[in-house]
Structure 1
Amino acid sequence: MATELLKREVTVSSNQAPAPVPASGDTFGRIGQLETRLARNAREIEAAQAVRYRVFVEEMNAQLSPEAMSSKRDMDSYDAFCDHLLVIDHSIPGEIEDQIVGTYRLLRQDVARANGGFYSASEYDIEPLLARHPDKQFMELGRSCVLPDYRTKRTVELLWQGNWAYSLKHGMSAMFGCASFSGVKPEEHAVALSFLHHTVSAKGEWAVSARPELYNNMDLMPLETINTRQALSALPPLIKGYLRLGAMVGDGAVVDRAFNTTDVLIVLPIASISNRYINYYGADAGRFAG
């Protein structure tokens, strides 16, 4: 979920340390030697930024700010007030910072309002969506990444366990955030984008659209010409995972040249999450609890 094109460029200097998170109640699950919890201090957040750099820059060829490139950390001003969900492999020798293998960045609506808004608002016009749900609390999921050797079912389960437990802990009503296709040519993803447009578009009270100046049409092929199996195989694993949970997709794709991606907006009301996933992870998010 990496996005940085044609929007306010925000960076955090290396001496602007993110606020630490209290240690109590921040561990959400374990599977074997893998654990998911929130980052507890600036060093752990910086280590998560280094993991993001390895994935977004070294693997996906993102072009970040000069400061981020020189420090080899993907960082911006949002890092200072977001919570950072980590997956930690305790079997790796060394300090805790060496054991972080995956991360998500979490931003609650009340925190976003107090700090200038949601990150996704630079690509999508989310204010009408929020205004239609004044009684609901939204949380934004972003900067999702996992190191190559850990792109396994266990890691994905722990990341979702963390997101689910966090949303329950804070009384969230819906999740949203940008998810990415590789590359900056939407037409290269015509089958997948068209499939999303025709089958899982967010409509009615959940409708949301890309900002007009960034909007790229997702309706690139008629529904009757789309091979469903081919479309599903063309979806990035993260997007497929969201769809299994019951997510919808906003209208319009956004090209992010800095991160070398084509983004779509995922919208997931908590009430829409498939019962089989709630049963699997536990209505109290207790399946993988320590």
Structure 2
Amino acid sequence: MAGNVLLSKGRYRARLAQTQKDIRAAQALRTLAFRTESTDRDQYDDLCTHVLVEDSKAGGQLVCCFRMLTMQGGSEIGNSYSAQFYDLSALAGFDGQMVEMGRFCIHPDWTDPDILRVAWGAMTTYVDRNQVELLFGCSSFAGTETEQYLDAFAMLKHRHLAPKRWLPRVKAPDVFRFAARLRRRPDAKKAMLRMPPLLRTYLMMGGWVSDHAVVDRHMNTLHVFTGLEIGAIPPARKRLLRAVAR
């Protein structure tokens, strides 16, 4: 398998971007998926490693992408994209390799669940190769209105808040403090239906979130800071991920 290929499974291949053309293709897919008015690009694109998932049965069509910013430890957390929106000083003491995963998207015309599995398999390969100990990023809900997501946010409050030692603090000017405001018990079925697929996968592996959501009107999303300590992933989940990654 070529050095830039992380995983090849069925009709899909996940590889690392090699050229500016690759990165422009990722930016174009992000623009389509996020429905931004102008091309989705920022200064972090030049700092990140980009992963592309392509469909071999559709002529190598790019169907999924995400980017990763690797840090040697918590002392570099202030350089992350997420640090623009969250006070991450609690994570400054994290000792171990970290990767910020961002701009994850799937082509709106592709609905095959195997795409998400291949993306996570590729991430697992990268994590294992680079001895990563913490994955983190911003997990986004579409739109900026909270009403339709109240059960999902209640579920996050009751089951998935970050440990106090890592809990992000408020930094953004416009936030929804769901942990403080919501008193309802979540309807589990409604909660999982409204939970974004990427966030759902994080949570199934033992991931945790901030106690508030940032209202991002530029991206037209609500997002929560999400962390996943690799050492805390249940053994059965690790086996499943590594089985996909083979």
TM-score of the aligned structures, taking structure 2 as reference length: 0.91
The answer as to whether partners of 1:81 and 1:111 remain within 8 angstroms in 2 is no
Unpaired stretches in structure 2, ≥5 consecutive residues: none
Which amino acid in the other structure matches residue 268 of structure 1?
A: L
Cα–Cα, structure 1 residues 130 and 168, in superposed 2: closer, same or farther, change >3 Å?
A: farther
Change (3 A) 1:81 1:141: same
Per the alignment, residue 5 of structure 1 pairs with none
Q: Deviations over 1:59-105 (max 9, x none)?
A: xxx34xxxxx2xxx311111011000110112223xx5xx2111011
CA distance in 2, matches of 1:146, 1:213: 29
CA distance in 2, matches of 1:198, 1:257: 27
Give the deviation of 1:221 after TM superposition: 2.9
Is the 2:85–2:172 Cα contact (8 Å) retained in structure 1? Answer: no
| 115 and 129 in structure 1: CA distance in 2 versus 1, 3 angstrom threshold | closer
Alignment pair present for 1:221 and 2:221: no
Aligned to 2:236: 276
Deviations 1:26-57 (A, max 9, x none): 21111222101111111011001100011011
Alignment partner of 1:139 out of 99, 118, 138: 99
Q: C-alpha root-mean-square deviation of aligned residues, in Å?
A: 2.3
Q: Which has the higher contact order (CA 8 A, sep 6+)?
A: 1
Partner of 1:259 in structure 2? 219
- Match of 1:148, SS state, is coil
Pair 1:118 & 2:80 matched: yes
The equivalences for 1:25-174 within 5 A come to 25-57=3-35, 62-63=36-37, 69=38, 73-93=39-59, 99-110=61-72, 117-131=79-93, 133=94, 135-174=95-134
How much identity, in percent, do the aligned residues show?
A: 30
Q: Deviations over 1:203-243 (max 9, x none)?
A: 232222331634321134325x3222222222122211111
Q: Unaligned stretches of 5+ in structure 1?
A: 1-22, 64-68
Question: How many angstroms apart in 2 are the aligned matches of 1:78 and 1:261?
Answer: 19
Higher Cα Rg: structure 1 or 2?
1
Deviation for aligned residue 1:155:
0.5
Taking the aligned partners of 1:156 and 1:212, their CA distance within structure 2 comes to 30
Q: How far apart, in 1, do the equivalents of 2:20 and 2:164 lie?
A: 41
Cα separation, 2, equivalents of 1:266 and 1:259: 17
Q: How many residues align?
A: 245
8 Å Cα contact 1:36/1:158 also seen in 2: yes
**Cα contact 2:72–2:96 (8 A) shared by 1:** no
Q: Which residue of 2 aligns with 1:176?
A: 136
Structure 1 CA distance for aligned equivalents of residues 167 and 73 of structure 2: 23
**CA contact 1:210–1:250 (8 Å) conserved in 2:** no
User: How far is 1:25 from its partner?
Assistant: 2.4
Residue 199 (structure 1) aligned with residue 159 (structure 2) = yes
SS in 1 for 2:165: helix
CA distance in structure 2 between the partners assigned to 1:118 and 1:140 by the alignment: 7
Tell me the CA shift for residue 116 of structure 1.
Answer: 7.1
**8 Å Cα contact 1:123/1:214 also seen in 2:** no
Partners in 2 of 1:152 and 1:130 — Cα distance? 38
Q: Contact between 1:33 and 1:89, CA under 8 Å: does it hold in 2?
A: yes
Name the stretch that deviates more: 103-112 or 135-144: 103-112
1:127-159 per-residue CA deviation (whole Å, 9 max, x = no partner) reads 32122x1x2221101000001233322111110
